[in-house]
Structure 1
Amino acid sequence: MAYAAYIFDAYGTLFDVHSAVRRHAEAVGPDGQLLSEIWRAKQLEYSWTRALMGQWRDFWALTEDALDYSFERIPSADKSLKPQLLEAYFKLDCYPEVPAVLKGLKAGGARVGILSNGSEKMLDSAVRNAALDTVIDDVFSVDELKTFKTDPAVYDMVTTAYRLYPGAVSFQSSNRWDIAGATKFGFRTLWINRARMPDEYRDLSPSMILPDLNGVD
């Protein structure tokens, strides 16, 4: 293996954040996709805002806050579905290629881990639900620091724990802003551009751009 550790963002990279609403698509109604997109956008916005103001609120609480906002934006969606949608988010589907890719990296002798804004309970549930607990060596949650990406201290959790230089770590994320932060920190970065979005943060380019995790090595 070229890298000692392969670290993955969780939400949007390993786990499909839109699978929660999709699981209840019929009940949510025709605006389900828009509801899901707003939910995700506000969840991220809340994490960035909280980090900048130094006002910690864990990612699960922000996820719930963002869903409340989304219901207000999409009045056609039944607010009584909130418990079911949160339960589904707690047990998100992983993308189909994820198990094989992680198993291959681990079989090659590398450490395989998650570095996420998610709370410890959220991540534990997602990993177990996807049966990845036998493949993932470590799960690094920002709960320990009480801030969020792209704070350099978040990426430093990996290098400190593993006693590695940043260049020995390959970091994979579907979030371009996350890739920018990890690139600035010194990781080798792979942007998993699942949504086929245009590039940005061009002064902080990834080492590689892939449509999914196939090809990570």
Structure 2
Amino acid sequence: MTEITGIKACVFDAYGTLFDVNAAAAHLKDELGGKDAKLAEIWRLKQLQYSWLRSLMGDCYVEFWQVTQDGLDFAMEAVGLKDDALRKKLLDLYWKLDSYPEVPAMLQALKDGGLATAILSNGSPAMLDGAVQSSGIGDRLDAVLSVDEHGFYKPRPEIYEMVTEYFAIAPQEVCFMSSNGWDAAAAAHFGFQVCWVNRTGQPQERLPGEPKKVLNDLSELPALLGL
């Protein structure tokens, strides 16, 4: 893996990268009867699968909030839960997911270093606004870009192109961070300089596009960029 240089903008995936997608289930661990980890795993998997499949099916796009609800419904049935009140609590918590502990200071360091910062996410604008506001990082971001503008999901190259168009810069001037191996690969294939935030020690995806760096978390990023 080579060095990362010539960066003008740092762009982040939202869910799993800046915001902890397991937080909603973790907050309700007791009510979930110890099924929180399994529920969170299935919920996230179905959320991603439904976004990909809807994109491939053509005219089946719905906002990520609907995909999130559909994924939860599948996950609850898969772990043997049927509780409308609990479902509502889980969905309400998804609007105010915890950011990872290192995120606010990391973003501030990037801003202090003169770099533009942004989110590029499958999330709907309202969902992203809720997460950004609840985590208090809005003043550290220059843009929050949602796939909703296009009506299909990552990893279509048109989604990554939103960044270069917004900032009027070349792909190689973007440092892109994602905790999703498939997202990191697709962004690298597009031409971004990519840091894969591999929080859980996953193997690398067998896809075109290779990240330049693999990070344990985002606290390492400012120093990596010479800040």
TM (normalized to structure 2)? Answer: 0.93
* Alpha carbons 1:31, 1:77 under 8 Å: kept: no
Residue 152 of structure 1: aligned partner:
157
1:46 aligns with 2:50: yes
2:214 is equivalent to residue 209 of structure 1:
yes
- In structure 2, distance between residues paired with 1:58 and 1:203: 27
Aligned to 2:9: 5
In structure 1, the partner of 2:79 is: 74
**Would the alpha carbon gap of residues 31 and 15 (structure 1) be closer, same or farther in structure 2, given more than 3 Å must change?**
same
How far does the alpha carbon of each residue in 1:156-200 deviate from its partner, in whole angstroms, 9 at most, with x for none? 001011111100000000000001110111000000000111112
| Equivalent runs, 1:7-46 vs 2, <5 Å | 7-46=11-50
Percentage of identical aligned residues: 46
* Cα distance in 2, alignment partners of residues 125 and 47 from structure 1: 20
Distance 1:157 1:202, change over 3 A: closer
Hey, what does 1:197 align to over in structure 2? 202
Q: 2:61 aligns with which of 56, 62, 71?
A: 56
Letter in 2 for 1:181: A
User: What is the deviation of 1:32?
Assistant: 1.4
- Return the letter of the residue paired with 2:181: R
- Residue of structure 1 equivalent to 2:130: 125
Q: Find the aligned partners of 2:207 and 2:81 in 1 and give their Cα distance.
A: 39
**Structure 1 Cα separation of the partners of residues 215 and 12 of structure 2:** 14
Q: Does 1:140 align with 2:145?
A: yes
Is 2:189–2:210's contact at 8 Å kept on the other side of the alignment?
A: no
- Equivalent AA in structure 2 for residue 67 of structure 1: L
Classify 1:202/1:69 alpha carbon distance in 2 versus 1 (closer, same or farther; 3 Å): closer
SS in 1 for 2:117: strand
Unaligned runs of 5+ in 2: none
The one-letter amino acid of 2:191's match is G
What code does the residue aligned with 1:213 have? Answer: L
Task: Please report how far the alpha carbon of residue 205 of structure 1 lies from its aligned counterpart in structure 2 after TM superposition.
Answer: 1.2
List, as ranges, runs of 4+ consecutive aligned residues in structure 1 with deviation greater than 4 Å: none
Contiguous gaps of at least 5 residues in structure 1: none
SS of aligned partner of 2:120: strand
Amino acid at match of 1:180: A
Letter in 1 for 2:164: T
CA distance in 2, matches of 1:39, 1:99: 26
Structure 1 length as normaliser, TM-score?
Answer: 0.97
Q: Which whole-Å CA distance do the structure 1 matches of 2:75 and 2:208 have between them? A: 33
Q: Deviations over 1:111-156 (max 9, x none)?
A: 0000000000000000000000110110000010011000000000
Distance 2:207 2:155 in 1: 16
Encode CA deviations 1:12-55: one digit per residue, 9 max, x unaligned: 00000000011111111121110111000000000000111122
1:167 and 2:169 correspond = no
Alignment partners' CA distance in 2, 1:42 and 1:155: 22
In structure 1, what residue type is equivalent to 2:116? Answer: R
Q: Hey, what's the Cα distance between the residues in 2 that align with 1:77 and 1:113? A: 38
Work out the CA distance in 1 between the residues paired with 2:185 and 2:6: 21
Mean Cα deviation higher: 75-84 or 111-120: 75-84
